[in-house]
Structure 1
Amino acid sequence: MTQFNHVQTAHCESGVISNIFRHYGLHISEPMAFGIGAGIFFGHLPFVKVNGVPGSTYRIWPGAIFSRVCKRLGVKMQSHKFSSPGKAMQALDDIIEKGIPVGMQSSVYYLPYFPASYRFHFNAHNLVVFGKEGENYLVSDPIMDTVTQIDPESLVQARFAKGFPEPKGKMYYPLSVPKQVDFARPIKEGIQQACYYMLKIPMPHFGVKGIRFLAKRVKDYPAKHGDRRAALYLGNIIRMQEEIGTGGAGFRFMYAAFLQEAGTLLNKEELKSIGGDLTLVGDLWRNFAFAAGRVCKARSADNISYGELSDMLLHIADEEEKVFRRLSKVKF
């Protein structure tokens, strides 16, 4: 059986990166992987429905972090998608038989080791399969505290779940991983890319403009959609923030940790200072989620209105803009 050092992390994609790279001797923390991959982001897409309600995202699209980190660190990866479960499972068996851990995209809904309350239709979850015990597969799922197992039928369902985005049996594994890398250039490129995505995308749905776009829509939810649907829409914003991956606040805290680590590595105190400011923004996101949750459950003793929630989001947008404008001016 392949020995695989499982470490629990906050987010699946950056956690898989950290765990797989460590297996090959390249030690990179989860926040460093997230930062080099420019994972921090925001988007509100009313035309993309998640379970029938508008979707929000607090991180870059699935797969982007992994591909960016590999490119910037010189890691060569092999990736496959499949037309049939039979071919996908045979390919997986062939690779893990060679002692190679395999990353894969899956649906959370079909992972039986998740508690029932966490199993919903989200098809962009990443995990590592690294061996078998009998018929069952050994799984290093970054958000679990220990190694677990999954039966072949459930793994097929998770790998070939329908809905957006379809995993189509996607699996990936390294062909070559350098033992040592110079992190300076990858850090710089990751920061510059994150600043561009947060500040300069011309469309109103993304970056700090996207947070303001959402704020305006939240304010109009009751009048436009009625109280019941307004609560449903608001509830999905919270769910995307707090339950899928690490959520809005969690990603801000992780990127702040990246800036702290990068500041130490590159001897740049300004990066550490900006990381401290972003941690405070993470607190604002958490405060918003708490207030919005009380509104959804009609438990707001202070009678917080949708207008006040909108104002909280506008304040968050202002603070995030300050952080990323300051970060964009750091000299490397």
Structure 2
Amino acid sequence: MKLSAYSHSPGAHCGSASLRNLADFYGWGFSESVCFGLGSGLGFGYYERGPASRIIMGRNGGLETGYFETLGIDYDERSGQKWESAWNDVRESLADGVPVMLFVDLYYLDYFKSDTHFGPHILLCVGIDGDEVLLSDSEFDSIKRLPVSHLRDAWNSDYGFGPLDNRWLVVRDPTVETPFETAAETAIERTATMLLSPDDGDWKTQGIDGIRQFADDLPAWTELEDTSWCARFAYQNIERRGTGGGAFRRLYADFLDEAASEVGLQEDVPTQLYDIADDWTHLSTTLKNASEAEGEEQAQLLENASDQANAIADREEAFFDGLRKL
């Protein structure tokens, strides 16, 4: 059982690429960057639990649901079901010709060959073939196969940014109710507000306040037992691991560039965010170097990273305050 009408394409980020593939499937016509922007995916979180003892993330956790809500698309989302119930729901959706978005720990995805737990990693389930499930994963050029038993482990992992709890999401009615201009304006306003006045939720600190807390804490990372791994993972979460580069800022700048004429943004607005994305990339290089250094050299690099992160916080505060006023 495979969705014959579904066409897979890879992308920059797992969540926004999955949304883009759904946009292609349903004929919504949105690029990946537009999907990311309409979902108000940009953010920042500083976390004290996960693969390393200190974690940063450049997006927020509401991208996928925010996308559907902003566009007025009817969807159904479930989590916390027992395996049998959740799996039956997935099978029924596939039988109805509907792809299912799954939130998983990539450690259990054989084709990744990863020794690090990381979740949620977002992908689309697009078929079942015997004892294997067919997965549309943005990191790869073609549909991947995975034993159903391994999906069970990946789908209910306790690792990552919180328990995954067999979470899934499907589109119930693909009708887009909200005009693009209205949706884009709403999404931009929400993004700016979340960065400037965040609700901390389960994170230690979110938004621009979170960037400043991260910056202020960096010199003290030398006291951690996993200093090098924290620095390495922070580098990866800025520049790799599906961010599109620059802590997701390039992906969001692409959205602003595409939406500029629709929402009346000046041409230099996306350029300003591209410049900020470059600053994040430079910070990631400092963190990567710190992960490979020791002693006083590592301490000095973390001090340098602290200065860079504080400067980024200042730039982002001015940028998003201006964007919200626009």
Structure 2 distance, partners of 1:73, 1:18, is 14
- The aligned residue for residue 172 of structure 2 is 175
Q: Is the 8 A contact 1:111 1:119 kept in 2?
A: no
Paired residue secondary structure (1:249): coil
- The aligned residue for residue 281 of structure 2 is 286
Matched, 1:81 2:83: no
Task: Flag the 1:23–1:219 CA change in 2: closer, same or farther, 3 A.
Answer: same
- The aligned residue for residue 44 of structure 2 is 42
Structure 1 distance, partners of 2:78, 2:116, is 25
Matched, 1:249 2:246: yes
Structure 2 distance, partners of 1:52, 1:289, is 16
Structure 1 distance, partners of 2:286, 2:103, is 33
Task: State percent identity of aligned pairs.
Answer: 24
Deviation at 1:239, TM superposition (A): 3.2
- Cα deviation per residue 1:239-291 (whole Å; 9 max; x = unaligned)? 3323443177141000000100011334x351x41111111111111111112
Structure 2 distance, partners of 1:239, 1:256, is 20
Matched, 1:105 2:103: yes
- Equivalence map 1:4-153=2 (5 Å): 4-45=6-47, 48-61=48-61, 64-114=62-112, 116=113, 118-153=114-149
Structure 1 distance, partners of 2:305, 2:247, is 19
TM-score (ref. length: structure 1): 0.87
Amino acid at match of 1:216: D
Q: Is the 8 A contact 2:249 2:274 kept in 1?
A: yes
- Cα deviation per residue 1:202-249 (whole Å; 9 max; x = unaligned)? 879222222121111112333xx16x6433432332233234431771
Bigger shift: 76-85 or 319-328? 76-85
Amino acid at match of 1:208: I
Structure 2 distance, partners of 1:196, 1:83, is 33
Amino acid at match of 1:314: N
Paired residue secondary structure (2:246): helix
Amino acid at match of 1:34: F
Deviation at 1:103, TM superposition (A): 1.0
Structure 1 distance, partners of 2:86, 2:273, is 41
Q: Is the 8 A contact 1:25 1:179 kept in 2?
A: no
Deviation at 1:59, TM superposition (A): 0.7
Is there any run of 5+ residues in structure 1 with no aligned partner, and where?
none
Q: Is the 8 A contact 2:71 2:176 kept in 1?
A: no
Amino acid at match of 1:292: L
Q: Is the 8 A contact 2:101 2:124 kept in 1?
A: yes
Amino acid at match of 2:123: L
Structure 1 distance, partners of 2:155, 2:131, is 17
Bigger shift: 100-109 or 143-152? 143-152
- Cα deviation per residue 1:22-51 (whole Å; 9 max; x = unaligned)? 211212111112112211111223xx3113
Q: Is the 8 A contact 1:21 1:177 kept in 2?
A: no
Task: Flag the 1:262–1:325 CA change in 2: closer, same or farther, 3 A.
Answer: same
Structure 1 distance, partners of 2:176, 2:184, is 18
Q: Is the 8 A contact 2:74 2:175 kept in 1?
A: no
- Cα deviation per residue 1:104-162 (whole Å; 9 max; x = unaligned)? 11111111121x2x452122111111112333222111222211211111111111222
Root mean square deviation, CA, Å: 2.4
Amino acid at match of 2:39: G
Amino acid at match of 1:2: L
Deviation at 1:327, TM superposition (A): 0.9
Task: Flag the 1:217–1:247 CA change in 2: closer, same or farther, 3 A.
Answer: farther
Amino acid at match of 2:86: A
Structure 1 distance, partners of 2:186, 2:309, is 28
Amino acid at match of 1:281: I
- The aligned residue for residue 258 of structure 2 is 261
Structure 2 distance, partners of 1:250, 1:221, is 20
Structure 1 distance, partners of 2:197, 2:245, is 20
Paired residue secondary structure (1:145): coil
Q: Is the 8 A contact 2:73 2:175 kept in 1?
A: yes
- The aligned residue for residue 195 of structure 1 is 192
Task: Flag the 1:149–1:232 CA change in 2: closer, same or farther, 3 A.
Answer: closer
- The aligned residue for residue 158 of structure 2 is 162
Paired residue secondary structure (1:49): coil
Structure 1 distance, partners of 2:235, 2:152, is 30
Counting matched residue pairs gives 318
Q: Is the 8 A contact 1:263 1:269 kept in 2?
A: yes
Is there any run of 5+ residues in structure 2 with no aligned partner, and where?
none
TM-score (ref. length: structure 2): 0.89
Structure 2 distance, partners of 1:42, 1:148, is 30
Matched, 1:308 2:304: yes
- The aligned residue for residue 217 of structure 1 is 217
